[in-house]
Chain A
């Protein structure tokens, strides 16, 4: 029985999504749980996993937009065809996105069907491979009957670790190339030698395309502005255009915060540890309840004052950034905030956030301190009215009562929308954040 592949609903508000990439080629065999396509909404890009196993039949090509729960493809058994009525239904849906011929082209397998590769490996070996993200087809089995056992995966991993140090000299046999099936197919089609590409991570279609463009155009590299990059680009431009930004900086002494943090983290499990950022988030959340303009939104002819603080926390990703939201940060204890930030950040990096977890923030904290940045001018995360940038915390010479003392300090940079927030209000707000951080007992009583 043909299994439908649907455009999933990834959040409460999602109504449609764009297929930005098929991660498995048409006609390939996919296993349950394999990521098969990437969906882009106006907030987030998400990988969609196969709900079943079977041969993938793509109905909607990359770039198509589909309504939530619309059929975008099928998983078929060997020899099975797309149901006739379903093929008819699928066609009009693609009209908005792509010409019909293209659909037909996509539906025809590009090459003869290949037998799915069945790797003989034990469940323990498969688990280890899954955990470490390696491709079992690259591992040699030494177990009974040639099975790959857990120890084989371990020794493969050891080998991989040593690899950079023992990179083969010219002519020596190189280690197998790690690449996605799409990348392998594309490389073959475009005549790119995967072995010549950088091997820091598993090669994807994008790497191959980039290499192809590089080969064509020499020194330049052209890649499509798509996915998360495109979303970020749009949002930044929109914010910079619509909101007259002003940025003010203020130095904050963090010696007391350091002492408090040390105290709180003593005898504490890893997951309960409090970071400076958590303290800053909590301090900002508290100050926002006292300065509603900084927590507001301009909506056409009206101003919305939110009676809650949904704190956006910027998280840098490998190829972009995302702002997951700690809801009701003002009501939560410091430890709750810390745990939630940790969880959201981890899942953000693993691309495991739901759409609902990245929408609805009323204010954002962004931290470049770990990169050694002292101060900067962050761009407001629309439709918020302000954003707090956090600089490097380090010991600096400070003049105290006419003499120079060494203090732990940082600079906070607040960008605000001057339509809604005046300079004096912004300064008072920032001063209040400083006060809460320099006398963190004001924050402490809320610890659960």
Chain B
């Protein structure tokens, strides 16, 4: 892979990390209302998967969707403004963190319903097939969602109709507070692919190159009309299920072990070891990302709140 692409993977992961780190501060300061569910620790999965996609490809996302949105080309300023509930935000303040969408970038929405996107993604795949394009759809969901109706019905439909959909399970070990071992008997969600007659692949979700390659393979199959793939990325969220979650269900030791496997630190070390980049170059990227985040906060803070009556608009087309 050429240097430019490698550096971009690093930059994208850092954008997600710095954006969300800023969100933790802003949330603590009371500047962001409602719920926020953060993706810190899982950046390699979204970035590795989306690096295979074109702007006209689709993704469906989850309530933990900031990483997917940024990786698929979402505008950080519009995202931050939406988190603030501002008029200039992606959804004009009507959606918030859980419903960010960008139809022009193929981002069919974060989703407040666990497994919601598993129903919708096959529809986007069907649409591409009926319209005769080679667009693909990546459907992100968690280990918790793999027990929902939509997981079974959606993957089955995509399989039987050979739809161009890549199902990416982000197994972060917990369905809210419940450890995977307590919510399903299989160790690998990918094993369930057998039930639908499609390939199932397990990948290290904290290794951006591994995710990139596994999803790349699946995208190739999908574009060729060979149907869907189920990919399970093993990863871990550093923050609680939501900001404010006391995380009584896991140990500090477990968290510390996963932090050792930080996807960004791993990848930057790899880039330095392989002499792809210098420390100075990485510092420069960090400074650029910091500036982008600060600008997004300024944009959000300076934007006006929506007019209350705006709440009645956009109910119908």
- Determine direct contact between A and B, CB below 8 Å: no
